[in-house]
Structure 1
Amino acid sequence: MTTATVNGNRERESLGEFLLRAPAVGPALALIVAIVVFSLATDTFFDLDNLSTVVQQSLVVGTLALGQTLIILIAGIDLSNASSMVVATLVMAKLAAAGSNGFFALIVGVILTVVVGLFIGTLATRIKLPAFIITLGTFTGLTAVAKLIAGGQAVPVTDGLLQWLGTKRFLFGGIPITYGMTLALIMFLIVWYALTKTAWGKHVYAVGNAPESARLSGIKVNRTVISVYVVAGVCFGIAAWQALGRTPNADPNQFQLGNLDSITAVVLGGTSLFGGRGSVLGTLFGALVVAVLRSGLTQMGVDGNYQDLATGALLIVAVVVDRIARRGQQS
């Protein structure tokens, strides 16, 4: 083997290690490519109003994906996050319609999603049931609960606080933003800080990588898992608030694929489905990629079924790439 070949292999290995250490690089590049492609393919995609709309459309899925990221980092999964969020929107809307204070309705909705997270985390740790089975059952049950609460019809929301996140302002006099965008950015920053700068974040990654090794090193694995589902529950409750700000109508039929869209955003963002590797920055890019893809294809006149097909194909590709990266890291 020549010296040039050895050096070339070292360079390739260094690049691979860099990509493993910075999983957000891939989705960031994918986002840039998607924006460029759709800007060239359509006349309106790169308009400020349209880009703002794309970001607004990504808020609910992005907030769901933020909580989902934490769960997947510990090698878990939550198929019930969107249905939990929908039930919360209906509870908030019903309470507000009955004359309750908007703040009280919001708190009750968030508490509901936290209780669901606590329930899932407790079953996963105490009874050792697979998270997939627990959340599949919870998803089915909450979907039925949402329809029972709604009584077959959507519930309009008129309370100002519950709609507040949809309030639009103009940055620098021309860039339209909403309070929901600001809140989502703050949430991502808080979770990023918690994962990268605190002992809790180190425990989350350790549990996702090797739970038995984490236990032997003194980490309280069960407590960490439950805390993750609880924090994710807070994210799902705020996602319900985001949803009402985006559309002031609580509908049991909304976000039927929200759970899958959130998983897609997380995996596209470079977080490993096998746990222990990923970042919230990647998830943010992943959520934006999903929103850009759907918006761009819609403007190009592509049928919604083909949009779902394209999103599903992206998810499969992302999982395959993650699997290959994992094997390369272990070899």
Structure 2
Amino acid sequence: MNTSPRNIPWGALGPWLALLVTCLFFTTQSERFLSAENLSLVLQQVMVVGVIAIGQTLVILTAGIDLSCGMVMALGGVIMTKFAVHYGLNPYVAIACGLAVTTAFGLLNGLLVTRAKLPPFIVTLGTLNIAFAITQIYSKAQIIPNLPLELTALGNTFNLGQAEVSLGTVTMLVLYVVAWFVLRDTAPGRHLYAVGNAPEAARLTGISVDRVLITVYAMAGLFYGIAALLSVARTGVGDPNAGQTENLDAITAVVLGGTSLFGGRGIILGTLVGAVIVGVFRNGLTLMGVASVYQTLITGILVILAVAADQMSRKGAR
């Protein structure tokens, strides 16, 4: 099988069609949905999950999964804000410390998967609980307010026509473009796809499978740290209770975006579309007055349908 990211099956088109149908449906249900203000709001609402989902995509492309992403993000946000507010550290140094901690958690996940040969599901389930406990203990379960402007700068907006676009949204889009280029046009990107598709075959061609996996998990941790900064910028506080649903939301975005849970197949821009689909559904249902519990129900159904479609696609490719 060709493992190149340039050769993606129907999953590359499916998410775009799903997004189009979803937008058309909600346009008929609410006249507010298609307004520039509302669409820009959707992007602001998905920017945190969207950036987490970049890291999650990298992991899933290697046939792994990372359940710890939301809690690691929350820990990163608490580190950044507490260092800056309570210890008076330079805000940029505080941000760097937060990114270092989330990257270290990703590195830990990678080492446990490769060196200890533990299943990614079990490893990241464990580090999820560790990150949650550390976050609650270190913050004493208290929100951290009064942040310096440097930590909230990415929450600022600028006018683009009638829409207000946040700097965080721009940051998310730039990160997707960079990730798309790396996965599509560089040797590390091709190696990642090769490892996800057939690790033993990749090893026989001279690719260091363990090195690829460790790098992927560490990079995922870095993306969780960037997402933490975006979360802090959007809310204006360091919140130890953040990230409790972001892991499932990120996995949902990846699956809806057409990336196979079995690894080796998918496209990063599909993940962006998947994140937007989740945001559009929740926004549209809110405009329709649908209770949040039903929004969660529909999201779960979407995930099952996307995984079922992936299964059928794999069987058809054999």
Task: Give the TM-score, by structure 2 length.
Answer: 0.96
**Of residues 140, 152, 157 in structure 2, which corresponds to 1:151?**
140
1:282 deviation in Å?
0.2
- What is the aligned partner in structure 1 of residue 219 from structure 2? 231
- Whether 1:265 aligns to 2:234 is no
- What is the aligned partner in structure 2 of residue 103 from structure 1? 92
Per-residue CA distance 1:188-216 (angstroms, 9 max, x = gap): 11111110101101100000000001001
User: How many positions carry a matched residue from both structures?
Assistant: 312
AA in 2 matched with 1:281: L
**Of residues 114, 120, 125 in structure 2, which corresponds to 1:125?**
114
**Of residues 9, 20, 24 in structure 2, which corresponds to 1:32?**
20
Q: Quote the Cα distance in structure 1 between the aligned partners of 2:280 and 2:208.
A: 40
Q: Quote the Cα distance in structure 2 between the aligned partners of 1:20 and 1:152.
A: 44
Q: Is the 8 A contact 2:8 2:267 kept in 1?
A: no
- Whether 1:251 aligns to 2:239 is yes
- What is the aligned partner in structure 2 of residue 324 from structure 1? 312
Q: Quote the Cα distance in structure 2 between the aligned partners of 1:209 and 1:20.
A: 13
Q: Quote the Cα distance in structure 2 between the aligned partners of 1:325 and 1:157.
A: 50
AA in 1 matched with 2:276: L
- Whether 1:142 aligns to 2:131 is yes
**Of residues 24, 40, 62 in structure 2, which corresponds to 1:74?**
62
**Of residues 191, 194, 211 in structure 2, which corresponds to 1:203?**
191
Q: Which range moved further: 299-308 or 268-277? A: 299-308
Q: Quote the Cα distance in structure 2 between the aligned partners of 1:176 and 1:307.
A: 25
Q: Quote the Cα distance in structure 2 between the aligned partners of 1:152 and 1:212.
A: 45
Q: Is the 8 A contact 1:180 1:242 kept in 2?
A: yes
1:86 deviation in Å?
0.2
1:20 deviation in Å?
4.7
Q: Which structure has the greater CA radius of gyration?
A: 1
Per-residue CA distance 1:62-84 (angstroms, 9 max, x = gap): 00001000000000100001100
AA in 1 matched with 2:51: T
Question: After superposition, where does 1:168-317 map in structure 2 within 5 Å?
Answer: 168-171=157-160, 173-317=161-305
1:250 counterpart SS class: coil
2:115 counterpart SS class: helix
Q: Quote the Cα distance in structure 2 between the aligned partners of 1:226 and 1:74.
A: 11
Q: Quote the Cα distance in structure 2 between the aligned partners of 1:210 and 1:217.
A: 11
- What is the aligned partner in structure 2 of residue 56 from structure 1? 44
AA in 1 matched with 2:303: L
AA in 1 matched with 2:180: W
Per-residue CA distance 1:255-298 (angstroms, 9 max, x = gap): 31100000000000000000000011100000000000011111
Q: Is the 8 A contact 2:37 2:162 kept in 1?
A: no
- What is the aligned partner in structure 1 of residue 3 from structure 2? none
Q: Quote the Cα distance in structure 1 between the aligned partners of 2:27 and 2:84.
A: 42
Structure 2 residues not aligned, in runs of 5+: 1-5
Q: Is the 8 A contact 1:80 1:138 kept in 2?
A: yes
1:45 counterpart SS class: coil
2:11 counterpart SS class: coil
1:304 deviation in Å?
1.0
AA in 2 matched with 1:152: A
1:137 deviation in Å?
0.5
Q: Is the 8 A contact 1:59 1:242 kept in 2?
A: yes
RMSD of the alignment, in Å? 1.3
Q: Is the 8 A contact 2:258 2:271 kept in 1?
A: yes
Q: Is the 8 A contact 2:70 2:242 kept in 1?
A: no
Per-residue CA distance 1:236-256 (angstroms, 9 max, x = gap): 110001101111112122231
Q: Quote the Cα distance in structure 2 between the aligned partners of 1:198 and 1:318.
A: 28
1:170 deviation in Å?
0.9
Structure 1 residues not aligned, in runs of 5+: 1-17
1:22 deviation in Å?
5.0
- What is the aligned partner in structure 2 of residue 8 from structure 1? none
AA in 1 matched with 2:58: L
Provide the identity percentage. Answer: 47
- What is the aligned partner in structure 2 of residue 13 from structure 1? none
AA in 2 matched with 1:85: M
1:40 counterpart SS class: helix
Per-residue CA distance 1:143-181 (angstroms, 9 max, x = gap): 11111122122111421111011110012x433111111
Q: Is the 8 A contact 1:96 1:157 kept in 2?
A: no
Q: Quote the Cα distance in structure 1 between the aligned partners of 2:176 and 2:8.
A: 21
